[in-house]
Amino acid sequence: MAEFKHKHIIALRDLSKDDIEMLLSSAESLREINSRDIKKVPTLRGKTIINLFYEASTRTRTSFEIAGKRLSADTVNITTSSSSATKGETLSDTALNLLAMKPDIIVMRHSVSGSHYYLADKVNCSIINAGDGAHEHPSQGLLDLLTMKDKFGRLDGLKVAIVGDITHSRVARSNIQGLTKMGSSVFLAGPPTMMPPGVERLGNVTVCSSMKEAIQDADVVMMLRIQQERQGKTLMPNAREYSRYFGLNPENLKLAKPNAMVMHPGPINRGVEMSSSTVDGDQSWILKQVENGVAVRMSMLYHVCGGEIE
Ligand code: CP
């Protein structure tokens, strides 16, 4: 059987199709634990995980913490607002000080793209990327793949439309990397100001001139949040105009395949990128994505620790 050889998980770009299949397969096995009365196994007993979040998070931070605890690891959470980063401590100094406490894994979210590679060079524990700037969000990409696989039983041959602020979306980048490796075709749509030049060079990726073209006959419609915190200046006229051209609603969703699934990584701007009725509608898999986030993160923690079961 193939072995997971990566000490760190920083980007889906760094993983092979076999690596991704292994992470998804372990998530499928591990998720049964989440439905038990006693949701705990000893797999990572004695391991210490530090969740170091320099940016806000609800889903990712909580599910990494739950994932660690369900595998019996000791988990510690640090957010910048309550850390010495507010006193000017550098990332490097913070990491070296945390390392002195002998963690096995640091899970980090940071606003600077590539900061995890910098950190991985300086420490001897595993680094997992919980989102770095506009670069990648590998755990989100993996949970999205798992959710699509749950619905369709496969990933190859799917038409996946990703709509919104592609330029600033680490979720889009991880999904493009993961989906194209697994044999899906990706169709992108968004305002020209939010479409990175050359993105079609990433593989089986088509940049569409309209949202209609992207979602026509799609198996999956993935909507993205407008990342106003990463946009140096306003890149759209106003929310109403954006919603008119790039918002998902029950009318334009009819362009996709009848059984198409609707996804969004959250948090959602209801009424901007999606109507509330679409967020809460029958085709929405958004809360299933969140549920799968725990299993995928259990799998990631398990594999960077060497995949040993006690
Ligand atoms: N999808 C996602 O990363 O959500 P959070 O920012 O709440 O972690």
Instruction: Report the 3 state secondary structure along the chain.
Output: CCCCCCCCECCHHHCCHHHHHHHHHHHHHHHHHHHCCCCCCCCCCCCEEEEEECCCCCHHHHHHHHHHHHCCCEEEEEEHHHCHHHHCCCHHHHHHHHHCCCCCEEEEEECCCCHHHHHHHHCCCEEEEEEECCCECHHHHHHHHHHHHHHHCCCCCCEEEEECCCCCCHHHHHHHHHHHHCCCEEEEECCHHHCCCCHHHHCCEEECCCHHHHHCCCCEEEECCCCCCCCCCCCCCCHHHHHHHHCECHHHHCCCCCCCEEECCCCCCECCCECHHHHCCCCECHHHHHHHHHHHHHHHHHHHCCCCCC
pLDDT in tens, the chain (310 residues): 578 999 999 999 999 999 999 999 999 999 999 999 999 999 999 999 999 999 999 999 999 999 999 999 999 999 988 888 889 999 999 999 999 999 999 999 999 999 999 999 989 999 999 999 999 999 999 999 999 999 999 999 999 999 999 999 999 999 999 999 999 999 999 999 899 999 988 889 999 999 999 999 999 999 999 876 656 566 666 888 899 999 999 999 999 999 999 999 999 999 999 999 999 999 999 999 999 999 999 999 999 998 854 4
Number of structural domains found in the chain: 2
Does 2 map to a domain?
no
Cβ of 60 closer than 6 Å to ligand 1, yes or no, is: yes
Q: Distance between CA 248 and CA 163 in Å, rounded?
A: 9
Q: Is the same domain home to 132 and 144?
A: no
Q: Which amino acid is at 203?
A: G
- Gap from CA of 138 to ligand 1 centroid (Å): 12
Q: Is the same domain home to 113 and 148?
A: no
Question: What was the pLDDT predicted at 73?
Answer: 98
- Gap from CA of 142 to ligand 1 centroid (Å): 13
Q: Over the stretch 97-149, which tens digit does the pLDDT of each residue have? A: 999 999 999 999 999 999 999 999 989 999 999 999 999 999 999 999 999 99
- Gap from CA of 60 to ligand 1 centroid (Å): 5
Looking up residue 295, the CATH number of its domain turns out to be 3.40.50.1370
Cβ of 169 closer than 6 Å to ligand 1, yes or no, is: no
Q: Is the same domain home to 84 and 188?
A: no
- Gap from CA of 56 to ligand 1 centroid (Å): 8
Q: Is the same domain home to 283 and 300?
A: no
Cβ of 289 closer than 6 Å to ligand 1, yes or no, is: no
Question: What was the pLDDT predicted at 230?
Answer: 57
Does 6 map to a domain?
no
- Gap from CA of 305 to ligand 1 centroid (Å): 24
Measuring from atom 4 of ligand 1, which residue has the nearest CA?
Answer: 59
Q: Which amino acid is at 208?
A: C
Kindly report whether the global pTM for this prediction surpasses the value 0.85.
Answer: yes
In ligand 1, the atom with minimum distance to the C-alpha of 137 is 3
Q: Is the same domain home to 101 and 149?
A: no
Q: Is the same domain home to 264 and 300?
A: no
Does 259 map to a domain?
yes
Of the candidates 308, 302, 281, the residue with the CA atom closest to the CA atom of residue 23? 302
Q: Which residues form the domain of 228?
A: 140-289
Question: What was the pLDDT predicted at 310?
Answer: 43
Q: Is the same domain home to 206 and 259?
A: yes
Does 3 map to a domain?
no
Q: Is the same domain home to 97 and 109?
A: yes
Question: What was the pLDDT predicted at 1?
Answer: 57
Q: Is the same domain home to 273 and 297?
A: no
Q: Is the same domain home to 128 and 198?
A: no
Ligand 1 pocket: which of 58, 66, 136, 224 to mutate (most atoms <8 Å of CB)?
A: 58
In ligand 1, the atom with minimum distance to the C-alpha of 109 is 8
Q: Is the same domain home to 147 and 229?
A: yes
First vs last C-alpha separation in the chain: 19
